[in-house]
Amino acid sequence: MSQVPSPVTVIDQLPEALQQRKALARRFKDIEYRHYRDDWRHIPRGTAVFGETVVYGYPHIGRVLALEAGLKAHFQAPFWAEEKINGFNVRIVRIGEQVLALSRGGFVCPFTTDRLPDLMPLEVFTRHPDLVVCAEVAGPDNPYLESSPPFIEEDVELFVFDLMRKNQAGFLPYRDKQRLIETFNLPPVPLHGYFHPHEVGRIRKLMLRLHEEWREGLVFKEDSPRDHRAKYVTGNINIDDLRAAADNLLDLPAEYVTNRLLRLSLFVEEHGLPVDAELERALGAALLEGLHQAVAKFRREHRVYTTFRCRFRERENAELMLEHLKRASHQVQIRRRDLRREGDHWLLEFDRIYPSLTGMLGDLLAGRLVFD
Amino acid sequence: MSQVPSPVTVIDQLPEALQQRKALARRFKDIEYRHYRDDWRHIPRGTAVFGETVVYGYPHIGRVLALEAGLKAHFQAPFWAEEKINGFNVRIVRIGEQVLALSRGGFVCPFTTDRLPDLMPLEVFTRHPDLVVCAEVAGPDNPYLESSPPFIEEDVELFVFDLMRKNQAGFLPYRDKQRLIETFNLPPVPLHGYFHPHEVGRIRKLMLRLHEEWREGLVFKEDSPRDHRAKYVTGNINIDDLRAAADNLLDLPAEYVTNRLLRLSLFVEEHGLPVDAELERALGAALLEGLHQAVAKFRREHRVYTTFRCRFRERENAELMLEHLKRASHQVQIRRRDLRREGDHWLLEFDRIYPSLTGMLGDLLAGRLVFD
């Protein structure tokens, strides 16, 4: 953290970063702000600036692909193992009278901001107005991701895993975080225990249970002043990732598929799992079913898309969310399907249309000759 | 073909092409030659020059991924359907007293050249010294490919599919080719019939049989002066390709995996096949088993490799083959295992060591933190 620039520097760098499009100026309702959308001169991606207030970006956490070797190589003291939740990262912060949720990239997420009163108690910000609550939002009805944790049946939930302060780059110490979470009744990520680095057997057992339950994995946080961290995911979450990516394969980075196949293989090998019919079938199905549906959908409707749905308390925020998605989606096209009252909420339905696969299927199904 | 430069131009362009490393000067024993290793100014990749004699490269054949639409779009007359064999492409030509086999890229393949007397009758070159025989060499014991047709149990076989002439870029007319193949008893690729473009049903049935037998597919050749061509492969050959690629995934082009998944999906969809447990398992196994073995092999031997074996009539040619592979393999490392007499042949065994996967597994299994 020591190399992260001070708030004064973060603000001083803004004009140049804005000019180079490394930072963007935005507005959410009547709140103006700027945010760094890439890592830039040690300022972490997602750092947002509201007037004189800097909310630092959530730092990258390294991933190990070998559990035992990774723990040995990186942990010198006991650590907590928190569950890694398959959702999207937000930082929640009070700006004036409004509590906002910032995405990983640093823009105000209209969806999460709208739903905050449903997701967590907000009194914490009255007593601690300088707090930044770092959390994962996950669930089947979210505007960003096709996959979600198996234990959330509908809508979304929020899981707090870190606390920061405005104008400070590091995290609050672990025990301070736990105390505040308890005091203010914040919803925490599941804490799966406190381990010594040599207790690999216990962690393996825990990982295998998470794997069997198709959960994502663990984040290890060292009980030491340096607060060292690493994450490690289950084998099955890679299959889940591949399933979610099937209709978007052509727009993903080249190594998306191979990375996940490699992670899955390493997990299976380290934990001595059999490469059996069940696993093989799960992987094959994840890759094939989505593509097969995409082809069938293209034949019927001449486009490949996925329908997303999410709930809002205020209609205006649903409109802002759609606008934001349309502006932010360079490759993918957003098509509004419906916005209607349902119970206490407004239900928004929209499609993400994948132009690369749509275009390629259009060509291929018309019989185009490909030279490869 | 009309835009392919004349032999004189091909020879005139050589100095510049050599300077730009688009062509290379080589020697096979006492025969000196040059070959274009990339398409260059309409000269096809693989074009080789022996003195004043030009052997044109084998042209690219376009691939359709939708059978019915592809046939409709590209064929205006009846066509022959020849089997596409899963091997490597060679052009066989007599230079002086020596009959040589040129690879797709235009170098003299010491392996195929050595084995020609075992693979086909060579008398055709006595009567027709200007002939260029285009063929696929395939089988489990070959020095290039991990996969091979299911109907070849050991060693390699050769399948002739086209004839050309020295110093001419086009193919001999189909019926002339068939006559020469019969007259000189050349081993042909299986010819699966003569079809009108509207007979999609018959071709589908044939394709399904090839798919079920895990064969590669068909090449369609129009019975017309323009000699139009297209290829179409089975769904299962994509699974085979993925299996063969598992330990080399990191060095393959980005789209290698996604292309094959897409081809498989399109095949399954067009032919109305079920996406069932058998198919899913076959795909999952193809991707997982190779990687799993690679990880296990790395744990034991600290490197990821595949062992190849192939037979030679002359020991010298085995040595030349190894030398050639070592020179030509930029990424992959070649390690000689054994060269010994076995029956009438010399049996060469060597490993291809995949440095990308070897290096990455080394890092990952040591517990390296990955930031992604």
Residue keyed to tokens 């723990």: A71
Which member of B258, B288, B370 has the closest CB to residue A265? B288
The pair of three-digit structure tokens given for residue B73, joined into one six-digit string: 């779009």
In this structure, is residue B323 part of a structural domain? yes
What per-residue confidence (pLDDT) applies to B54?
Answer: 98
In this structure, is residue B337 part of a structural domain? yes
Residue A329: CATH number of its domain: 3.30.70.3360
Distance CA B327, CA B330 (A): 7
Per-residue pLDDT of chain B (372 residues), as tens digits, is 458 999 999 999 999 999 999 999 999 999 999 999 999 999 999 999 999 999 999 999 999 999 999 999 999 999 999 999 999 999 999 999 999 999 999 999 999 999 999 999 999 999 999 999 999 999 999 999 999 999 999 999 999 999 999 999 999 999 999 999 999 999 999 999 999 999 999 999 999 999 999 999 999 999 999 999 999 999 999 999 999 998 888 888 878 999 999 999 999 999 999 999 999 999 999 999 989 999 999 999 999 999 999 999 999 999 999 999 999 887 789 999 999 999 999 999 999 999 999 999 999 999 999 998
Which pLDDT tens digit goes with each residue over A78-91? 999 999 999 999 99
Chain B residues touching A285 at Cβ < 8 A: 275, 280, 284
Check CB contact under 8 Å for B280 and A277. no
Which member of B65, B68, B370 has the closest CB to residue A63? B370
Tally C-beta pairs within 8 A across A and B: 172
Interface test with A, best of B68, B71, B231, B283 (most A CBs within 10 A): B283
SS3 annotation, A88-149:
EEEEEEEECCEEEEEECCCCECHHHHHHHHHHCCCCHHHHCCCEEEEEEEECCCCCCCCCCC
What per-residue confidence (pLDDT) applies to A2?
Answer: 57
Check CB contact under 8 Å for A284 and B289. no
Which pLDDT tens digit goes with each residue over A199-225? 999 999 999 999 999 999 999 999 999
In this structure, is residue B179 part of a structural domain? no
Chain B residues touching A257 at Cβ < 8 A: 257-258
Bridge partners (DSSP) listed for residue A353: A305, A333
Bridge partners (DSSP) listed for residue B138: B157
Check CB contact under 8 Å for A66 and B364. yes
Query: Which residues 6+ apart lie within 8 Å of A49 measured at CB?
Result: A10, A11, A14, A33, A34, A35, A55
Nearest to B251 by CA among B352, B350, B326: B352
Chain A residues touching B76 at Cβ < 8 A: none
Q: Estimate the crossing angle of helix B235-245 against helix B277-301, to 10 degrees.
A: 10
In this structure, is residue B326 part of a structural domain? yes
The pair of three-digit structure tokens given for residue A56, joined into one six-digit string: 């630092």
What per-residue confidence (pLDDT) applies to B329?
Answer: 82
In this structure, is residue A222 part of a structural domain? no
User: What is the ipTM for the molecules in this complex?
Assistant: 0.93
Chain B residues touching A62 at Cβ < 8 A: 369-371
Check CB contact under 8 Å for B370 and A62. yes
Nearest to B306 by CA among B355, B365, B247: B247
Lowest pLDDT segment from A96-100, A118-122, B247-251: B247-251
Averaged confidence pLDDT in chain A: 96
Where in the sequence is the domain holding B328, given as residue range(s)? 305-353
Residue A245 CB burial class (10 angstroms; 0-12, 13-18, ≥19): buried
Check CB contact under 8 Å for B365 and A69. yes
**Number of domains chain B contains:** 1
In this structure, is residue B329 part of a structural domain? yes
For residue A69, the distance in angstroms to the closest alpha carbon of chain B comes to 5
Check CB contact under 8 Å for B367 and A284. no
Which member of A275, A284, A292 has the closest CB to residue B282? A284
For residue A108, the distance in angstroms to the closest alpha carbon of chain B comes to 23
Task: Search chain A and give the residue with CA nearest B294.
Answer: A265
Task: Search chain A and give the residue with CA nearest B249.
Answer: A258
In this structure, is residue A322 part of a structural domain? yes
Q: What percent of chain A has pLDDT over 70?
A: 99
Chain A residues touching B269 at Cβ < 8 A: 292, 295-296, 299
What per-residue confidence (pLDDT) applies to A331?
Answer: 79
Cα-trace Rg, chain A? 22
Nearest to B124 by CA among B188, B174, B169: B188
Chain A residues touching B289 at Cβ < 8 A: 275
Interface test with B, best of A74, A203, A283 (most B CBs within 10 A): A283
Examine the pLDDT at A261 and tell me if it is beyond 90. yes
| Beta-strand pair A31-36/B157-165 | unpaired
Average confidence (pLDDT) over A293-305? 94
Check CB contact under 8 Å for B284 and A289. no
Distance CA A312, CA B286 (A): 44
Residue B134 backbone phi and psi in degrees, to 5:
-100, 125
Which pLDDT tens digit goes with each residue over B115-151? 999 999 999 999 999 999 999 999 999 999 999 999 9
Which member of B62, B257, B269 has the closest CB to residue A296? B269
For residue A228, the distance in angstroms to the closest alpha carbon of chain B comes to 12
In this structure, is residue B322 part of a structural domain? yes
Examine the pLDDT at A1 and tell me if it is beyond 60. no
**Signed CA dihedral, B262, B264, B270, B275: sign only:** negative
Check CB contact under 8 Å for A367 and B62. no
The answer to whether A166 and A322 are in contact (CB under 8 A) is no
